[in-house]
Amino acid sequence: MIVRFVLALGLWLATLPALGQEGPYPVASSGKLSHDGVLGCGATLIAPDLVLTAAHCATGLRSRVTEKPGSVLFQTGSYADQPAVTRAIIDAALHPLFFTPRLAGISKLAADIAILRLESPIPPEVATPLAVAPYDDAANHRLVAATWPFDGARAQERGCPLIASDPWVLTLGCEVKHGHSGSPLLALTERGPELVGVITARSDAGLQPLAFAVRAQERLGQLRAIMP
């Protein structure tokens, strides 16, 4: 039974398209945040001048960009003949529930999302913003985490099967590492890749590594409403 499962999983992963092999989409839109030149969390371009990331990656960001403009940057991924492009972060809106006292566990993860504004738009020929959409559990679309390695300039994709879901958080059966917070979770649909979640946490306290992603579309409207 275990052998059959491993073989089936291997065949499923082998059918995943190499999302980053052609053109700027979505390789370049899956980027990285840096603070004073030090790379940190992942972030995803969702509009020419907006990126989505995890709230814990942006705690204190508004005061930092006010006191030291240009210190926090978003860097796009790169691809053939197109180097990475950077833009300074000038403002941020973190989900207010993230700061609720005594909030913990899944309830804390459910609010671990933030939207950041860039100083100027990213040109469409450099990066195409990812479409944000709700994840339909019944549709059973393949899920892929696009994470940006510290030693590379482009996103790497890995299959992340859905283990469990609630209205705000998706639990995934894949391994993510330190620095992958804020990276996008993509659903491969007939319309193309869609951003359905933001990676926020991981767990390896068992035989199966787990990753957790807050549902993006369900929180996006709330974040836009409080963005200055």
Q: How many CA atoms lie within 13 A of 23 on its CB side?
A: 7
* Token pair recorded at residue 47: 């509009």
Is residue 24 over pLDDT 60?
no
Pick the CATH number of 130-216 from 3.20.20.70, 1.10.1040.10, 2.40.10.10, 3.40.50.620: 2.40.10.10
pTM of the full structure: 0.84
CATH fold, domain 30-118, is: Thrombin, subunit H (2.40.10)
- Cis peptide bond N-terminal to 26, omega within 30: yes
Percentages of the chain per state (helix, strand, coil), in multiples of 5: 20, 35, 45
Q: Are domains 30-118 and 130-216 of this chain identical in fold? A: yes
**What percentage of the chain reaches a pLDDT higher than 90?**
41
Question: Residue 69 and residue 38: Cα distance in Å, rounded?
Answer: 16
User: Which amino acid is located at 223 in the chain?
Assistant: L
Where helices occur in 18-140 by DSSP H, the ranges are 61-67, 105-109
The strands making up 210-215's β-sheet, listed across from edge to edge, are 156-159, 142-147, 184-189, 192-203, 210-215, 169-172, 162-165
**Nearest Cα residue to 113 out of 50, 49, 71:** 50
The full set of domain ranges for the chain reads: 30-118, 130-216
Query: Are 54 and 92 spatial neighbours (Cβ–Cβ below 8 Å)?
Result: no
pLDDT digits (tens, 9 = 90+) for 36-73: 888 889 999 999 999 999 999 998 888 888 888 889 99
pLDDT digits (tens, 9 = 90+) for 144-195: 998 876 666 567 788 999 999 889 999 999 988 888 999 999 999 998 889 9
Say what the pLDDT of residue 70 is.
87
Between 12-26, 119-133, 153-167, 173-187, the lowest mean confidence (pLDDT) is in 12-26
Question: Residue 42 and residue 22: Cα distance in Å, rounded?
Answer: 21
Query: Are 174 and 209 spatial neighbours (Cβ–Cβ below 8 Å)?
Result: yes
Say what the pLDDT of residue 15 is.
35
DSSP H/E element including 203: strand 192-203
Residue position matching structure tokens 């030149």: 37
Question: Residue 186 and residue 98: Cα distance in Å, rounded?
Answer: 23
* Token pair recorded at residue 32: 């990285």
Residues 6+ apart with CB under 8 A from 116: 33, 43, 50, 51, 52, 53, 58, 61, 74, 89, 91, 92
Question: At 130, phi and psi to the nearest 5?
Answer: -80, 140
Q: Which residue has the higher pLDDT, 17 or 134?
A: 134
* Token pair recorded at residue 86: 């950077």
